[in-house]
């Protein structure tokens, strides 16, 4: 298992004590900052939630992200608080989605939806495995490794042997689905570096599936990322092309380079840092650094089509874009890599109502580029 991780900030001449100081400042901002800074909210003596401040709700995305950050920084109390809130309010113990987590809840715990979003489940499972290895298993819901295995079992086996529901992965092409039962995917949900570890730690009968899923997700990302720009669409068909079909629940577009899409090259960067395997997906990291260089120098990011043409004047998450492009440096070194890392180093975290998503990706990028996003 990997035991050395790149500290890209240090490689580019930033002093280790400055890096560590900045990391703890980011932690304090995210968890315990002012009201227009923090996203972590304790509840009672033993629970807490991460708020999506742009939508005033609690999402499995944010809860699982918060848990991953906590296990990386050895914050067990905060981890357990988040996990207990998720299991108390988000987990669905029966019905069609039994074993999954409702993707959105109100801050008082009431479910806004009775359906899951698969990126939450895969992050929950990975964070729980890491917690088991870092802190040891406890009892009940804090038997972390058991909880992780049960999540993954549900993800693959719903609908079998009379069990209600549908799986979160397409068992034929090994691709994660945007929602269970749908016939398309989200490129930013593809986390081959997680699947490599699920292939070691999931229930034994499922390990061959996860091993294959890691390979297929890397190959999928080659198709999903535009050759010139490195951009992926928010939602995409199983062949990687942007998903342009009308959705029954929204009139919004999702075939362009927008919010979800920013995570894709960040994931490619972390996957390469952890496992060093390239099926061609690392080319996207090189392309995006080069394509967005001029916009990065101007400090103005747009809404883009995947081919790079401008589809809207101002990006909704202008902090998330340079953070994730900087993280892509882990997968591809270019003539602009230092510039992207220095730009990110000098970039403040976001304040105000839209801070949640930007600062989650900012935090992950800082962890990764400082060598603190690790396999436990």
Q: Indicate the length of the chain as a whole number.
A: 376
Half-sphere exposure of 37 (CA within 13 A, CB side): 12
Q: Which of 186, 260, 305, 358 is catalytic?
A: 260
Q: Which of 37, 52, 61, 234 is catalytic?
A: 61
Q: How far is CA 188 from CA 53, 117, 273, 296, in A?
A: 21, 12, 17, 22
Question: Which residues 6+ apart lie within 8 Å of 123 measured at CB?
Answer: 60, 61, 64, 65, 67, 68
Tell me if 80 sits within 8 A of 41, measured CB to CB: no
Concatenated DSSP letters for 265-317?
A: HHHHHHHHHHH---SSTHHHHHHHHHHTHHHHHHT---EE-TTS-EEESS-S-
Q: How many CB atoms are closer than 10 A to CB 179?
A: 15
Tell me if 189 sits within 8 A of 119, measured CB to CB: yes
Structure tokens of 309? 């043409």
Exposed/middle/buried for residue 365 (C-beta within 10 Å: 0-12, 13-18, 19+) = buried
Question: Which residues 6+ apart lie within 8 Å of 313 measured at CB?
Answer: 302, 303
Output phi, psi for 115, to 5 deg.
-120, 155
**Smallest Cα–Cα separation from 360: which of 323, 308, 311?**
323
Output phi, psi for 301, to 5 deg.
-110, 145
Q: How many CB atoms are closer than 10 A to CB 164?
A: 12
Task: Clarify whether 147 is annotated catalytic.
Answer: no
Tell me if 328 sits within 8 A of 288, measured CB to CB: yes
Tell me if 49 sits within 8 A of 67, measured CB to CB: no
Task: Clarify whether 61 is annotated catalytic.
Answer: yes
Catalytic residue IDs: 61, 260
């Amino acid at each position: 298992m990997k035991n050395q991780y790149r500290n890209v900030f240090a490689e580019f001449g930033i002093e280790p004590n400055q890096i560590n100081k900045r990391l703890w400042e980011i932690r304090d901002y995210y968890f315990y900052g002012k009201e227009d800074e923090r996203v972590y909210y304790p509840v009672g003596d033993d629970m807490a939630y991460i708020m999506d401040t742009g939508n005033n709700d609690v999402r499995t995305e944010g809860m699982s992200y918060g848990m991953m950050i906590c296990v990386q920084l050895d914050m067990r109390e905060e981890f357990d608080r988040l996990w207990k809130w998720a299991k108390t309010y988000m987990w669905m113990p029966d019905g069609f989605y039994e074993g999954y987590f409702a993707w959105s809840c109100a801050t008082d715990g009431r479910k806004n939806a009775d359906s899951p979003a698969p990126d939450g489940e895969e992050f929950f499972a990975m964070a729980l495995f890491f917690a088991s290895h870092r802190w040891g298993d406890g009892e009940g819901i804090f038997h972390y490794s058991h909880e992780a295995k049960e999540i993954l079992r549900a993800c693959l086996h719903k609908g079998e042997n009379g069990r209600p529901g549908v799986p979160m992965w397409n068992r034929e092409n090994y691709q994660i689905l945007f929602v269970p039962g749908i016939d398309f995917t989200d490129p930013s949900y593809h986390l081959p570096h997680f699947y490599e570890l699920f292939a070691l730690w999931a229930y034994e009968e499922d390990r061959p599936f996860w091993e294959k899923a890691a390979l297929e997700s890397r190959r999928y990302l080659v198709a999903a990322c535009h050759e010139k720009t490195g951009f992926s669409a928010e939602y995409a068909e199983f062949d990687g092309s942007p998903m342009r079909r009308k959705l029954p629940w929204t009139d919004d577009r999702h075939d362009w380079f927008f919010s979800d899409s920013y995570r894709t090259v960040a994931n490619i960067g972390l996957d390469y840092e952890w496992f060093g395997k390239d099926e061609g997906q690392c080319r996207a990291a090189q392309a995006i650094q080069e394509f967005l260089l001029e916009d990065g120098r101007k400090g103005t990011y747009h809404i883009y089509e995947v081919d790079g043409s401008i589809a809207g004047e101002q990006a909704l998450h202008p902090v998330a874009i340079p953070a994730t492009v900087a993280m892509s440096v882990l997968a591809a070194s270019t003539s602009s890599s230092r510039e992207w890392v220095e730009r990110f180093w000098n970039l403040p975290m976001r304040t105000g109502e839209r801070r949640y998503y930007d600062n989650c990706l900012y935090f992950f990028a800082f962890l990764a580029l400082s060598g603190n996003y690790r396999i436990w």
